Structure 1
Amino acid sequence: MNTKEAAAFIRENLTTTPAVGLILGSGLGVLAEEIQNPIQISYKDIPHFPESTVSGHKGQLVIGELEGRQVIAMQGRFHYYEGYDMKQVTFPVRVMKELGVETLFVTNAAGGINESFNAGDLMVITDHINNMGDNPLIGANDDDLGPRFPDMSEAYDRRLIDHAMKSADRLGLKIQRGVYIGNKGPVYETGAEVRMLRTWGGDAVGMSTVPEVTVANHAGIRVLGISCISNMAAGILDQPLTHEEVIETTAHVREDFLSFVKDLLKTLPA
């Protein structure tokens, strides 16, 4: 896939260079509406870009200024379960790197595995487990993009995690910390699977994020991950799980999510 061609198309619409990338998950695209002097580019207009097919994902880039930072936001992401391969799912991260992005905020809606969590909690991701059965770095390695065997011991930047927790304290927000498990989807987990994932050390589970974070690390982009615990996973509460519930819960935490990410950007360390 031609990263340079896609980046060149986007660059033609820009007057500044974005330093921070934002990947906005289900129900969290509202953050892009806060961007000042926005330039909006539909995914379908960008060479080689996939198109988002999931409800709650608008399917466009929004580029502009947010809290004094030049940002490029994905208002909707791509998922492995949509039928895209891992390189398509992570293509936008490669394009962001080509455009000059140095820091990536990855957000998602996730099911709570940790029984001390509640629907509506925000969780800073401290680490992840790839349970997708695939990896976007499989295949020939381009040494210009990153090393053959990238280190993932600090997949989520520790300085950014500390920064996030200090921001939460400053705002008076209760923020969880935990391990995110990435599953292939598109089904929600069974109760037995959730019990298994808990024994693995997982605190939340979802169907995204792991591929993008893997490629960001490969590319030398520092990463902060934030999950909105949109529901408790199967077997914890005696109720069925639906995507509508996910969107509804993320709407309830809108103000906390917005204030949190905006403060993170405003006070972002170099």
Structure 2
Amino acid sequence: MNETVQKAVDLIREKTTITPKVAVTLGSGLGGLADNIDADAVISYEDIPGFPASTVPGHDGKFVIGHLGDVPVIAMKGRFHYYEGYPMWKVVLPTRVISALGVETFVVSNAAGGVNTSFSPGDLMVIADHINQMGDHPLIGPNNDEIGPRFPDMSSAYDEALIDIAEQEAKAMELSLQRGVYAATTGPTYETPAEVRMFRTLGADAVGMSTVPEVIAARHAGSRVLGISCISNAAAGILDQPLSHEEVIETTEKVTANFMELVTRIITRVGKGEQQL
């Protein structure tokens, strides 16, 4: 464990005696789930040694540690993005810290543009796979064999058993849950219509500016990952209208109740040990 990760872990353990079992990363406009956690500790990123600041609206920049139902959790209320100017190792620093705390199940969420023309703003999509188009990778550089292998297998980046649980719980809620491939770009510009057509040709169903680095880091450490995208808008060129971050936040806030119930149901089942096929 490097010194930066160790200092962050030490500080968190000073603030709480809870050992989280599940981590939740809350994307743009989806931070409301953290308010449902019976919090034992709320730690601002700026108070953690070595952590950068979260600069994006809709990302509060806090760890919330406590219980969601009976399950001990740690929630990232906001994340760091490559387009904010941080190197990849800093983008995945919270993931490294959470893994070092012993968490082995990650639920990552994001707001994404719908590439699949059958998707509508407000849909939730469980991520079945991803395409990394960020032009960088969080594992470039010397490998720490204590964390994971030099060449991690990504053939099952998103855990099929967790996807099954998500789909079962969505069905129980009578909630339509899409399933698709998430493409990650650097941002901060939204994609051009030509780029969206390219992603559709490549097999992507949604596109965004996050998530993939964190998933890679979590899988490198041997953790299970479930990814959920909120389709916040139709990607460029599908509708004859400009894109804006305000639209993203507005759409995610409208579906936050369904998102929170779905994730709470999933975490409750994971907490019971229901992550094996």
Which range, TM-score by smaller chain? Answer: over 0.9
Aligned-partner Cα distance in 2 for 1:111–1:38? 35
SS at match of 1:78: coil
Return 244-253 or 29-38, whichever deviates more. Answer: 29-38
| Paired-residue identity, % | 61
Q: Which SS does the other structure have where 2:113 is aligned? A: strand
> What's the Cα RMSD here?
0.8
State the match for 1:172 in structure 2: 174
Match of 1:246 among 241, 245, 248: 248
Aligned to 1:181: 183
Aligned counterparts of 2:40 and 2:184: Cα–Cα separation in 1: 31
Count how many residue pairs are aligned between Structure 1 and Structure 2: 270
State the partner residue of 2:164.
Answer: 162
Q: Which residue of 1 aligns with 2:118?
A: 116
Gaps of 5+ in 1: none
Q: Please say which of residues 231-240 and 30-39 is displaced more in the overlay.
A: 30-39
2:260 matched residue in structure 1: 258
Instruction: Quote the Cα distance in structure 2 between the aligned partners of 1:10 and 1:37.
Output: 13
245-254 or 34-43, larger mean C-alpha shift: 34-43
Q: What is the rounded CA distance, in whole Å, between the counterparts of 1:250 and 1:150 in structure 2?
A: 33
2:264 corresponds to which letter in structure 1? K
1:70-104 CA-to-partner distances (Å, cap 9, x unmatched) read 00001000000000000000000110011111100
Counterpart in the other structure of 1:19: 21
- 1:140 deviates by 0.6
Contact between 2:68 and 2:264, CA under 8 Å: does it hold in 1? yes
**Tell me, which stretches of 5 or more residues in structure 2 are unaligned?**
none
User: What CA distance in whole angstroms lies between the structure 1 residues aligned with 2:41 and 2:132?
Assistant: 34
Q: What's the CA shift for 1:116?
A: 0.3
SS of the equivalent of 1:253 reads helix
Deviation at 1:68, TM superposition (A): 1.2
Point out the more displaced range, 197-206 or 44-53: 44-53
What is the CA-CA distance between 1:215 and the residue it aligns to?
0.5
CA distance in 1, matches of 2:204, 2:40: 37
TM-score (norm 1): 0.99
Q: Write out per-residue CA displacement over residues 206-241 of structure 1, whole angstroms, 9 at most, x where no aligned residue.
A: 000000000000000100000000000000011100
Match of 1:53 among 55, 59, 76: 55
Aligned residue number for residue 76 of structure 1: 78
Aligned to 2:104: 102
Deviation at 1:24, TM superposition (A): 0.5
Q: CA deviation at 1:67?
A: 2.0
Match of 1:125 in 2: 127
Distance, in Å, in 2 between the alignment partners of 1:42 and 1:223 is 24
Q: 2:39, 2:64 within 8 Å by CA — same for their partners in 1?
A: no
Q: Look up the match of 1:195.
A: 197
Q: What amino acid is the match of 1:74? A: M
Q: Which residue of 2 aligns with 1:35?
A: 37
Q: Write the distance in 2 (CA, Å) between the matches of 1:231 and 1:191.
A: 14
1:136 positional shift:
0.3
TM-score, with structure 2 as normaliser = 0.96
